[in-house]
Amino acid sequence: MAEIIIFIFSGVFIGIAAGLFGLGGGLMIVPVVTYCLVYFSNTPFDQAIIIGVSTSLASMVITGAMAAYAHSKNNNVDHAIIKRFIPGLIIGSLTIGFFIKSVPLIGYSPAPSRQSLHKRIESINPPVHLAIPQSAILNWHCCQQPPHSWN
């Protein structure tokens, strides 16, 4: 029940922020969905972040489609220019689709280690760095429940 309330209030807040400032997907939807999946559903972090990013991308596709429809309906789109882009879009999409698996992921790590997470926190400016308790960061593992002090 709590996660439904979180999703409703965060959806209203994200909708207002998206309408007023253009903020949304990566900045707000991904963290909310990821946190709720890890905290409430005990979903592993590496799966929760993929679901969060996918949810954000799905909302962007729907928003983009509605914006394109509205602009087309208001005759704000020059369809002759779009027709010139279509061959390049198809060729580029197919090329990336066939060759993306051959790109090596050098240095890719799906879950950060304790040391790398600590180094990232240390690199943040001092006022933000001092606001986060070090014990909460060093004792928290990505795929486990948050510390009890966060409840």
User: Any idea of the CA torsion for 28, 135, 139, 110, to the nearest 10 degrees?
Assistant: 40
Query: How does residue 128 score in pLDDT terms, banded at 50, 70 and 90?
Result: very low
Phi-psi region of 23 (alpha: psi -120 to 50; beta: other; left: phi over 0): beta
What are the phi and psi torsion angles at 36 (to 5°)?
Answer: -65, -40
Region 29-55: what's the mean pLDDT? 88
Q: Which two tokens stand for residue 99?
A: 């060759």
How do residues 60-111 score in pLDDT, each as one tens digit?
A: 888 889 989 999 999 998 989 989 999 999 999 999 888 887 877 665 555 5
CA angle 101, 104, 108 (to 5 degrees): 110
Ranges of each domain in the chain: 2-76, 112-140
Determine contact, residues 47/69, Cβ cutoff 8 Å.
no
In this prediction, residue 135 carries a pLDDT of: 52
